[in-house]
């Protein structure tokens, strides 16, 4: 299942906080279709405009360049000080559409009761249980590394920064074995999986 680039940018708000506007990127056949899909999900839609996803890619490339200092960081505290701009946040609705409005990990429909997260399948800022792994900072802005997740699967004691590399297998992870793909042979960290949204550049 490849990632599909959104082609509309919408300004929206949740009905209980109409003053808190945010951007939402979606894929649709027309402006009317983008608007009605968001209104069905109870968003207040302020405007809908055509969007060239190349603009997002350019912003992502800039943020990736800024994150390159991860290569030189020697410890987790230094890495933690880096802030990744959350360019992935406006992609949540587009990702949920790709996954039939379900969490990529537990297959539950959740967006009528919770906001949910955009999860980095390969964690961007460090890998739990492997303090020598800097995290997959170079995939922080690769949409193929994003998955829609319910809060239970991505927060608390669930996935968070866990990733099933050969060096950091963790029995408590909730990542489904169903999405484990053939071994990636090029990554220096012995990763075992690709994302369901496509083969990641390692």
Chain contacts with Zn ion (rule: CB under 5 A): 103, 105-106, 150, 153
- Dihedral angle, C-alpha 75, 144, 195, 154, nearest 10 °: 60
Nearer to Zn ion, 105 or 136 (CB): 105
37/150 with CB nearer Zn ion = 150
Shortest reach from residue 158's CB to Zn ion, in Å: 8
Of residues 139 and 152, the one with the C-beta less far from Zn ion: 152
Using alpha carbons only, give the angle 25, 63, 46 rounded to the nearest 5 degrees. 25
Calculate ∠ Cα 175-194-197, nearest 5°: 90
The DSSP secondary-structure symbol of 119 reads E
- Minimum Å gap between C-beta 104 and Zn ion is 8
Q: Residue ranges of the alpha helices (H) in 7-162?
A: 31-40, 54-66, 76-80, 92-98, 151-154
Residue 95 or 150: which CB sits closer to Zn ion?
A: 150
Nearest Cα to 22, choosing from 88, 82, 95, 66? Answer: 88
30: CB partners within 8 A, 6+ apart = none
Q: Shortest distance, CB of residue 108 to Zn ion, whole angstroms?
A: 5
- The residue (of 79 and 162) whose beta carbon lies closer to Zn ion is 162
- Name the minimum Å distance from CB 53 to Zn ion: 27
Closest distance of CB 153 from Zn ion, Å = 3
């Amino acid at each position: 299942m490849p990632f599909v680039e959104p082609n509309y940018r919408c300004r929206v708000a949740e009905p209980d906080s109409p003053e808190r506007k945010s951007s939402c990127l979606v894929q649709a056949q027309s402006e009317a279709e983008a608007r009605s899909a968001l209104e069905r999900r109870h968003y207040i839609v302020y405007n809908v405009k055509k969007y060239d996803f190349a603009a997002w890619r350019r912003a992502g490339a800039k943020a990736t360049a800024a994150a390159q200092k991860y290569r030189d960081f020697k410890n987790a505290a230094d890495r933690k000080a880096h802030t990744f701009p959350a360019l992935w946040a406006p992609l949540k609705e587009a990702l949920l559409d790709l996954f039939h409005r379900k969490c990529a990990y537990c297959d539950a429909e959740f967006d009528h009761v919770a906001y949910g997260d955009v999860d980095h399948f390969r964690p961007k800022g460090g890998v739990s249980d492997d303090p020598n792994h800097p995290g997959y900072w170079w995939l922080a802005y690769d949409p193929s590394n994003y998955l829609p997740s319910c809060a239970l699967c991505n927060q608390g004691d669930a996935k968070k920064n866990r990733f099933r590399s050969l060096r950091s297998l963790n029995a408590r992870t909730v990542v489904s074995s169903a999405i484990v793909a053939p071994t990636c042979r090029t990554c220096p960290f012995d990763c075992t999986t690709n994302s369901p949204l496509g083969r990641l550049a390692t």
